[in-house]
């Protein structure tokens, strides 16, 4: 998004992810507006209604307790300008099971039609 001229602030719980983002943005010759080491559950100190768009890309599948997921959404909404847009991603509770099961059995190949008399 920064490459397209948007002002981008990254907030991440992982200091390492922030360092990687700085390295990757430098490689591309872009600079984010800010790189914030922070917690999606502790957004009270940030300016309300500051952002036009918020991407909530991790907390909804990394936070186990429903109350924490709700708190992350409420915190993000507090930072969002009126009529702003929030994008959220999450993973189904069944995703780990699906990942495990997909590798248990070899993929079934369609039966070959036999040519000739049977």
- pLDDT value at residue 64: 84
Give this prediction's pTM: 0.72
Residue 77 has pLDDT above 70, yes or no: yes
The chain-wide mean pLDDT, for the chain, equals 87
Dist. CA 83–CA 99, nearest whole Å: 37
Dist. CA 69–CA 74, nearest whole Å: 9
Pair 79, 50: CB distance under 8 Å: yes
* Topology adopted by domain 2-102: Rossmann fold (3.40.50)
CA-CA distances (angstroms) from residue 45 to 25, 80, 116? 26, 14, 76
């Amino acid at each position: 998004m920064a490459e397209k001229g948007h002002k981008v602030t990254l907030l991440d719980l992982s200091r390492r992810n922030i360092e990687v983002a700085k390295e990757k943005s430098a490689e591309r010759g872009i600079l984010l507006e800010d790189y914030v080491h922070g917690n999606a559950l502790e957004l009270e100190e940030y300016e309300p209604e500051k952002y036009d768009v918020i991407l909530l890309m991790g907390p909804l599948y990394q936070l186990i307790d429903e109350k924490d997921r709700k708190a992350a959404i409420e915190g993000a909404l507090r930072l969002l300008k009126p009529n702003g847009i929030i994008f959220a991603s999450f993973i189904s509770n069944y995703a780990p099971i699906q990942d495990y099961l997909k590798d248990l059995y070899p993929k079934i190949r369609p039966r070959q039609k036999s040519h000739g008399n049977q």
